[in-house]
Amino acid sequence: MKTICLYFEIHQIIHLKRYRFFDIGTDHYYYDDYENERSISDIAERSYMPALNTLLQMIKENGKYFKVAFSLSGTGIEQLEYHAPQVIEKLQELNETGCVEFLAEPYSHGLSSLANPEAFARDMKKQSAKMEEYFGKKPTVARNSSLIYSDDIGAQIAALGFKGMLTEGAKHVLGWKSPHYVYNCNMAPSLKLLLRDVELSDDISLRFNNAEWEGYPLFADAYIDRIARLPEEEQIINIFMELSALGIAQPLSSNILDFLHALPVCAIQKGITFSTPTEICMKTKSVGAINVPDTLSWVDEERDCSCWLGNAMQREAFNKLYSVADRLLIANDPRINQDWDYLQASNNFRFMTTKPSNVGLDRGIYSGPFDAFTNYMNILGDFINRVNALYPEEIDNEQLNSLLTTIKNQGDEIEMKDMEIERLKTKLAKLQPAEAEKPKKAAPAKKVAPAKKAADKKAAPAKKAAPKKKAEPKKE
């Protein structure tokens, strides 16, 4: 039976303000608060809230049949907390239906997986903890920023304990293979891979409102018919996109939400179900490994990392940022750590791209890639000075490595203890029902020895007789 895995990502750009060379050392605040509030409020009103309300209505109308998955970057959550808390409340309401799964991804929506394994692991754990805090369950399936993946990244994700991972069904990786199966990581066979159907996903997120597209207008019944006509053995259809596609990339006036709302009704008629990523990973066996020696992503036609690291400016900024990654791992300054998260966001490097793209790129305050590079490097210069003030460059590598080793050992020890606690909790949970099912025997009545009874009688104080009334003297 065919099943659709529908997934949406929520991430919000942290807009940097205009920061000049002479601000270095005097101004440590890097963000355009007005633009951040304006943009998140706008996207919440035009996209997130209408889309989430529609998805909630679809769940209520279709019961447990319709299911959907989300992931939220940590920086996106912070912006929603500040400026659009109603979006988080709606996501929590969706979570209460039991038909929604929340996935793990890097907290910063950054590129740490390409630079520093320790920073990447920390990024994933931090966002997972945030998901558990808000939605009551630790994620078991992961996705990297913009679906970036390679064999090495898959091995890192598996080492973190995840059971599955989402990535792109790129043609140069799949070759003759279909994305409609479950695969596994080449270096970690236990990690299952769900590959995005590029065409079916982009038909909704990129082409839906394009009147020049040969598939225009796209109707729900025709869309589901295409899925139903796929070969019988191709049963997993992964449709992944950003939630902002519903309302921003494809305006609400295009009836995109009406299209979405009709999908479950049409799917039921064709015997097609909906599943969450974890359900697919648990129920479906892998058909084999996928070999991905080089990184891939879901961005641009090349489906690689060239949109972030394709020119010398981007690589210079990237290498400069991650040159202090090890020092950041031992920092305990909340402000430094927050700036680190925001400066890692992949959008900062995307603004510097010189590549032509079929998808429009809004550079915000920047007039071009060199302007974006200059502004970012000014901010980065101030940030690195602050980091070096905490851990000066005079601290040699041996001392730094010693500190990092100590922290890593402590982290490993805590993780092992956490795993042992979880194991004991599971064992206790299994034992409790077994104990409850055992018939309880009535406790035998205790017999009191006769001698003790007699002694008890003797020891018992005698009841005092009520005092007699004195006789009144007779009156003569």
Series of mean pLDDT values for 10-residue runs along the chain (476 residues): 97 94 96 95 97 97 94 95 96 97 97 95 96 96 97 97 97 94 97 98 96 96 97 97 96 97 96 98 96 94 93 97 88 89 96 82 89 97 92 59 58 67 75 60 47 42 43 42
Q: Are residues 30 and 55 in the same domain?
A: yes
Q: Are residues 300 and 353 in the same domain?
A: no
The per-residue pLDDT for 458 is: 42
Residues 6+ apart with CB under 8 A from 456: 448
Residue 475 lies in a domain: no
The per-residue pLDDT for 39 is: 95
Q: Are residues 323 and 203 in the same domain?
A: no
d(CA 357, CA 53): 32
The per-residue pLDDT for 331 is: 74
Q: Are residues 247 and 334 in the same domain?
A: no
Residue 358 lies in a domain: yes
Of 390, 411, 446, the position where a domain reaches its end is: 390
For residue 77, what is the DSSP state?
H
The per-residue pLDDT for 398 is: 60
The per-residue pLDDT for 268 is: 96
Residues 6+ apart with CB under 8 A from 469: none
pTM of the shown model: 0.82
Strand 3-10 and strand 236-242: pairing? parallel
Q: Are residues 349 and 321 in the same domain?
A: yes
The per-residue pLDDT for 389 is: 87
